[in-house]
Amino acid sequence: MHIERPRDLAEALAGFDSHPRATPLAGGTDLMVEVNLSHLRPETVVALRRVSELQTWDDRFVGAGVTYARLQAGPFPALAELARTVGSPQIRAAGTLGGNLGTASPAGDALPFLAALDAEVVVASHGGERTLRWDAFLVGPKRTALRPGELIVGVRLPDHIPARQAFGKVGVRQAMVIATVNCCVVRDEEGATRVAMGAVGPTVLRARAAEQLVSSTSRPSPSMLEEFQRLVSDEVVPITDHRATERYRRHAAGVLARRTLERCLAP
Amino acid sequence: MIVTLQVNGRSHAVEVAGWESLLWVLRERLGLRGAKDACLQGECGACSVVFDGELVCSCLVMAADAEGAEVTTVEGLGDAGGLHPVQQAFVDEGAVQCGYCTPGLAVATAHLLETHPDASLDELREALAGNLCRCTGYGAVLRAAVAAQRGGAEEAAP
């Protein structure tokens, strides 16, 4: 195995230029599990923890190397809330936002927040930078639009971020748990609502019919909330796996989305 | 490849092969068997160490990337004068059953009390959520953590 330990972004991108198929290593919380279980033996690793540009968090730009521990202490309530549900303190001290995107697990806890805000993913290579909206970046389970030689640099959030926002997660315990279903809801003062659901499809997805239903009203009635829950359950496309059945996930998605929306509606 | 790192205040230049984890290097190359090898996927916390000031699972640190790092393991908690107050509290409270999780819990508790000396009981619980004990000894562990915290506070008082 060959490892590069770049000191800055230019060195990191040069590393990926010479080794376009190199494996990026940030917190190691996904990669090292695969390595320890002998599922993965990367030939070349570019280790990113010394690259200061990736640690940047400047208002709406969150660097790929920002850890869950930092997200947990940050200014966006739903992002802080979701970060707190990731793994344990040990995992949150190491795992990064960029890693959550790069791994592109359908259950990635940061992804519903990014989807609900229509965040953009900034990627760079030796040749330059490009920006992809979350749904152009996440193309399938554990698959991204990242090209050989490219590195995730960070995430750009929109200028307008509604104060009403919440994250919810269903799992078998309070700590150290991968989501069975996760969800982020944001709602602006005019009522425009966005609902992103994770672990219930090949990638995180938006429940657009449910969004439309509640976006037109300032105070959704109880029957409208029932209908909202039903629409979310209809719109998700879960599978049965070792964590839950398709049927359970479909039901839980509706209930979780409704409860998360209700938290956004609270005065 | 040779990786140079500080472990418990001592500098080591250690030969690291391929994809070895920091946990492997600590145990098999430096002979520090305190950090335990259990799940190898960051779930159990038995391999917890302090790595450049952060509590992490050493099984998830690629040793080749530990160049220049400062690491504290359970062997570095106490000194020639005796046990660290957290270790002593674990002994006094009987917070050890089979002992496999104990080094990780001791490192995690000591790190928490150093970084958040005023942690509430809920914060203590949340901070130790990444250290699994299959003997179900959490009650005694929390009593030990609180005792160590009180002891530390008394020591700090004028």
* Residues 6+ away with beta carbon under 8 Å from B27: B33, B35, B37
Q: Do A90 and B45 touch (CB under 8 A)?
A: yes
Chain A residues with beta carbon closer than 8 angstroms to that of B67: 5
Is B76 an interface residue toward A (CB < 8 Å)? no
Query: B39 contacts in A (CB within 8 Å)?
Result: none
Q: Pairing between strand A164-170 and A128-133?
A: unpaired
B-chain residues near A175 (CB < 8 A): 126, 129-130
The complex's ipTM works out to: 0.94
Whether the CB of B110 is below 8 Å from some CB of chain A: the reply is: no
Say yes or no: A114 and A194 in one domain: no
Is residue B157 pLDDT above 70, yes or no?
no
pLDDT one-digit tens code per residue, B93-141: 999 999 999 999 999 999 999 999 999 999 999 999 999 998 878 999 9
**Segment A46-53 mean pLDDT:** 97
Per-residue confidence at B91, pLDDT binned at 50, 70, 90? very high
Instruction: Say what the pLDDT of residue B111 is.
Output: 98
pLDDT of A72 > 70? The answer is yes
B158 pLDDT higher than 60 = no
Mean pLDDT of chain A: 97
Cβ neighbours for A206, distance < 8 A, ≥ 6 positions apart: A115, A116, A194, A195, A196, A197
Reported as type and span, the H/E element at residue A89 is helix A89-94
B45 to A88: CB separation less than 8 angstroms, yes or no: yes
Chain A residues closer than 8 Å to B48 by CB: 90
Which of A155, A187, A219 terminates a domain? The answer is: A155
Question: Average model confidence (pLDDT) for chain B?
Answer: 94
Q: Is A225 on the interface with B (CB under 8 A)?
A: no
Asked if CATH classification 3.30.365.10 holds for the domain at B85-156, the reply, yes or no, is no
Question: For residue range A148-202, what is the model confidence (pLDDT) as tens digits?
Answer: 999 999 999 999 999 999 999 999 988 889 999 999 999 999 999 999 999 999 9
Q: Looking at the structure, do residues A82 and A115 belong to the same domain, yes or no?
A: yes
pLDDT in tens, B26-83: 999 999 999 999 999 999 999 999 999 999 999 999 999 999 999 999 999 999 889 9
Q: Are A249 and A180 in contact (CB under 8 A)?
A: yes
A5 touching B (Cβ < 8 Å):
yes
CA distance A45 to chain B (A): 9
Q: Quick check: A13 pLDDT over 70?
A: yes
| Contact with chain A for residue B1, Cβ under 8 A | yes
DSSP assignment of A141-154 equals TTEE-PPTT-EEEE
| Domain with A193 in it | 164-265
| A209 lies in the same domain as A251 | yes
State yes or no: pLDDT of B154 exceeds 80: no
Here the CATH number for the domain that contains residue A173 is 3.30.390.50
Which residues in chain A are closer than 8 Å to B56, comparing Cβ atoms?
90, 93-94
- Same domain as A236, residue A170: yes
pLDDT at position A143 is: 98
Confidence of residue B156 (pLDDT cuts 50, 70, 90): low
Q: Are A105 and A87 in contact (CB under 8 A)?
A: no
Provide, as residue numbers in chain A, all residues whose Cβ is less than 8 Å from the Cβ of B129: 88-89, 174-176
> What residue of A is the nearest CA neighbor of B104?
A90
pLDDT digits (tens, 9 = 90+) for A204-257: 999 999 999 999 898 999 999 999 999 999 999 999 999 999 999 999 999 999
Same structural domain, A148 and A215 = no
What is the rounded distance in angstroms from the CA atom of residue A96 to the CA atom of residue A63?
9
In this structure, are A13 and A116 located in the same domain?
A: yes
Could you read off the pLDDT of A102-114 as tens digits, one per residue?
A: 999 999 999 999 9
Q: State whether residue B131 sits within 8 Å of chain A by CB.
A: yes
State whether residue A196 is helix, strand or coil.
Answer: strand
Q: Is B62 on the interface with A (CB under 8 A)?
A: yes
Query: What's the maximum distance between 2 C-alpha atoms anywhere in chain A?
Result: 60
- Using the 3D structure, point to which of A155, A176, A205 is the last residue of a domain: A155
* Domain residue ranges in chain B: 2-76, 85-156
Same domain, A7 and A103: yes
Per the CB < 8 A criterion, the answer to whether B146 and B90 are in contact is no
Q: In chain A, what percentage of residues exceed pLDDT 90?
A: 95
The answer on A236 and A128 residing in a single domain is no
Our count of domains for chain A comes to 2
Do A23 and A140 lie in one domain? The reply is yes
Q: What is the pLDDT of residue A173?
A: 86
Q: Which pLDDT belongs to residue A186? A: 98
User: pLDDT by residue (tens digit) across A23-45?
Assistant: 999 999 999 999 999 888 999 99
| Interchain contact A178–B (C-beta under 8 A) | no
Mutate to test the interface with A, among B4, B16, B19, B134 (most CBs of A within 10 A): B19
User: How far apart are alpha carbons A174 and A242 in whole angstroms?
Assistant: 18
Give the pLDDT score at B155: 66
For residue A5, the chain B residues in CB contact (below 8 A) are 65, 67
Closest CA to A97 of A158, A42, A56, A145: A56
Tell me which fold the domain B2-76 belongs to: Ubiquitin-like (UB roll) (3.10.20)
